[in-house]
Structure 1
Amino acid sequence: MSDLFRSSILGLSLAAAIGAAEASDLPSKKGPPPAPVAPAITWFDIAFSVKGMTDYNFRGISQTDRKPAIQGGAELQIYNNLFYLGVYGSNVDLATSPTAEVDFYGGIRPKFGDLSFDFGVWQYYYPGEKQLIDGAGVFWTPKNTDYTEVYGKVSYTFAESLTLGANVFYAWDWLGTGASGTYASLTAKYNLPFLEGLSVSGELGHYWLGTTNLAIWSTVPPTNLPDYTYWNAGASYTWKNITADLRYHDTTLSKSECFLLTADPRGISLGTGRSNWCGAAFVATLSFDITASSLGVFAAK
């Protein structure tokens, strides 16, 4: 090998080594990884809801004598909806003839990924009601049917399409009768893949009711209220803030058991001691829901 060729190879090797060393001293173009971005927090929000329905069906029993209802409410949500307080109202047609049903409620909704909990207290208030007394002086209802429930709910969502849930509600003075009431149910909802916003859902529940209190009912002796099973199934479609729902409701209550739970005035006036408020029913509902944050108020920070 000639001296000239050997010198050329040595020169190239030295230049490559120097270039590599200089390159290692240059700052990286990528730089340090970006700092994680903290999730935005909505400290306060208000959710508004308005509904119109062909019948106000509550756990299988019509609250409007199978006639239409208009409902509305507002809910204050705190710290990304972890804590909440709300009020809700509806027209009703019940044995004690209240001017409306007004509900007050509050609780906490912890969430861990796809697992959600809800614990709270719900107060049912019936302003302007009057005790139902027939011409013979028989008391058919308490003077005051307001009552309070405590509840716990849990649900889990699978792949953003299927949600399964379980709920328990307890009242120590159901409808002012002195009887306890425990309602437990399982729920399921599936978002259909072929049309966004379309879902099917259902609920299967059971109501355990206790014995009425003689001191409250006055002329009526203590009565064991009938337990019953309730279920519903239906489909709903949501477009933006509007949801349309068609649902089937039914119970295991007979018409005489339904009368015992509702004191349906028709069963008194006709002398049948029966009521159709608890039978099978198809209910259509149209609702509109919106939040203040969606309008730019209480935006996340």
Structure 2
Amino acid sequence: MKKTILSAAAILAVGVTSASAADLAAKVYTKAPPVAAFDPWDIAFGAGVMSDYVFRGITQSNHNPSVTAYFEPRYNVTKDLQLYVGTSFESISFPNRAAAEVDIYGGIRPTFGAFAFDFGVWGYLYPGGKCAEGVLTGGVAGGGVCPVGFDTNYISNGNVLKKDVSFFEGYAKVNWTVNDMFTIGANEYYTPSYLNSGAWGNYASVTAKVVAPSTFFGASGVGSYVSGEFGRQWLGTSDSFYGTTIASPTGGGPFPAGIKYKDYNTWNIGVGFTYKVFTLDLRYSDTDLSKADCNAFTSDYTASPSGDFSPINPSGVGSKWCGATFIAKLSADVTLQSNLK
């Protein structure tokens, strides 16, 4: 899902020089030069294409290419305080055949010296969804999200997914710019119902980024960086829509009232290259979720019987959506004041 967007307001500087009376030119100006007015408004926008859309270690595009775009108006109250709203789009491949991921978000970004904060709310919308595998969900509480006449042949592995999986998160972030090269950060997200599953979700992560000196590639104008993230996703218990009446061969269950999703760790590391408004990011991502627990969490429509069992996954169906993957992303990011004026 989506990737994090941080910025700072433009800083206007006026140079001041001094000279002795003997150095003054014959024509002396006593009136100060005009000072450019501070324009508080700015707009950031951009687009990208990636080989795989991975959100917190889990593919959202079935390990296929995805396109993305965003638009973010900003208002700089002062040079250290910014308000913003935005929307973004990502192409996805979900079991319920949702048309796309459409994000709507907004918040405030205060800056205190080397520390840049970001507080806001992010809504994840998945329009166009249909009920997956209604044969199984029709009699289960919560099955009202499944319309009559849906296609029951879309999923044949027993996995189920609601028609509407939209949800929202509140978040808080901070980045500390240690120096011109090194930045570290921390992120916190919380939702009362992750993917509208009824299970609360809490995600926390730490990040680091090292930017190479501007002379690393000579005078070519190419920049580069190395960055990484380590995060942990905690998850609660789903509602009865995702419950199971079958006990697992590994012990555990049945859980007709809902399943306690497996908490997991995720990490990524990569290198990026920048040129003007373009960025090429090459990244490795992974999690410690088993194929069985991944299947229970994602309802992967490509999962197949593989003997992967867990207490919350008695079917023996395993998913590869949570494993190691490589992501290449080419993007362009523009701000009105910095790039177009």
CA RMSD of aligned residues (A): 2.6
2:201 matches 1:204: no
Per-residue displacement from partner, 1:73-126 (whole Å, max 9, x unpaired)?
Answer: 100011157011000001100111100000000000101221100000000000
Q: Which residue of 1 aligns with 2:59?
A: 62
How many angstroms apart in 1 are the aligned matches of 2:105 and 2:293?
29
Residue type at the aligned position of 2:270: G
Q: Which residue of 1 aligns with 2:334?
A: 290
2:189 matches 1:189: no
Q: Which residue of 2 aligns with 1:16?
A: none
Task: Check 1:187–1:230 CA distance in 2 against 1; reply closer, same or farther (3 A cut).
Answer: same
SS at match of 1:47: strand
SS at match of 2:190: strand
Per-residue displacement from partner, 1:237-275 (whole Å, max 9, x unpaired)?
Answer: 110000000000000001111101110112268875211
Q: Which residue of 2 aligns with 1:230?
A: 266
How many angstroms apart in 2 are the aligned matches of 1:68 and 1:202?
22
Q: Which residue of 2 aligns with 1:42?
A: 39
Task: Check 1:131–1:237 CA distance in 2 against 1; reply closer, same or farther (3 A cut).
Answer: same
2:308 matches 1:247: no
Q: Which residue of 2 aligns with 1:113?
A: 113
Q: Which residue of 2 aligns with 1:9?
A: none
Per-residue displacement from partner, 1:207-234 (whole Å, max 9, x unpaired)?
Answer: 00001122x5477531000000000000
How many residues align structurally?
Answer: 267
Q: Which residue of 2 aligns with 1:20?
A: none
Q: Any unmatched runs of 5+ in structure 1?
A: 1-27
SS at match of 1:261: helix
2:295 matches 1:259: yes
Per-residue displacement from partner, 1:107-154 (whole Å, max 9, x unpaired)?
Answer: 001012211000000000000001212544576123310000000001
Map 1:152-171 → 2, pairs under 5 A: 152-171=172-191
Q: Which residue of 2 aligns with 1:7?
A: none
SS at match of 1:97: coil
Residue type at the aligned position of 1:234: G
Q: Which residue of 2 aligns with 1:25?
A: none
Task: Check 1:77–1:65 CA distance in 2 against 1; reply closer, same or farther (3 A cut).
Answer: same
How many angstroms apart in 1 are the aligned matches of 2:234 and 2:196?
16
Give the conservation status (yes or no) of the 8 Å contact 2:238–2:260: yes
Task: Check 1:295–1:162 CA distance in 2 against 1; reply closer, same or farther (3 A cut).
Answer: closer
How many angstroms apart in 1 are the aligned matches of 2:121 and 2:68?
20
Q: Which residue of 1 aligns with 2:251?
A: none
Q: Which residue of 1 aligns with 2:123?
A: 123
SS at match of 1:256: helix
Residue type at the aligned position of 1:227: D
Structure number with greater Rg is 1
SS at match of 2:318: coil
Residue type at the aligned position of 2:202: T
How many angstroms apart in 1 are the aligned matches of 2:132 and 2:69?
28
Residue type at the aligned position of 1:260: A
Which of 50, 53, 62 is the equivalent residue of 1:53?
50
How many angstroms apart in 1 are the aligned matches of 2:285 and 2:45?
26
Per-residue displacement from partner, 1:2-53 (whole Å, max 9, x unpaired)?
Answer: xxxxxxxxxxxxxxxxxxxxxxxxxx849xxx99x98963311111110100
Q: Deviation at 1:61?
A: 0.3
Instruction: Name the TM-score, length of structure 2 as normaliser.
Output: 0.72
Q: Deviation at 1:155?
A: 1.0
Task: Check 1:40–1:235 CA distance in 2 against 1; reply closer, same or farther (3 A cut).
Answer: farther
Q: Deviation at 1:295?
A: 5.2
Task: Check 1:227–1:290 CA distance in 2 against 1; reply closer, same or farther (3 A cut).
Answer: same
Of Structure 1 and Structure 2, the greater helix share is in 1
Task: Check 1:188–1:126 CA distance in 2 against 1; reply closer, same or farther (3 A cut).
Answer: same
How many angstroms apart in 2 are the aligned matches of 1:53 and 1:295?
23
Per-residue displacement from partner, 1:171-198 (whole Å, max 9, x unpaired)?
Answer: 1110001100000000000012324511
Residue type at the aligned position of 1:224: K
Give the conservation status (yes or no) of the 8 Å contact 2:304–2:319: no
SS at match of 1:118: strand
Residue type at the aligned position of 2:208: A
Give the conservation status (yes or no) of the 8 Å contact 2:206–2:229: yes
Instruction: Name the TM-score, length of structure 1 as normaliser.
Output: 0.82
Give the conservation status (yes or no) of the 8 Å contact 1:42–1:78: no
Give the conservation status (yes or no) of the 8 Å contact 1:142–1:217: no
Identity %: 41
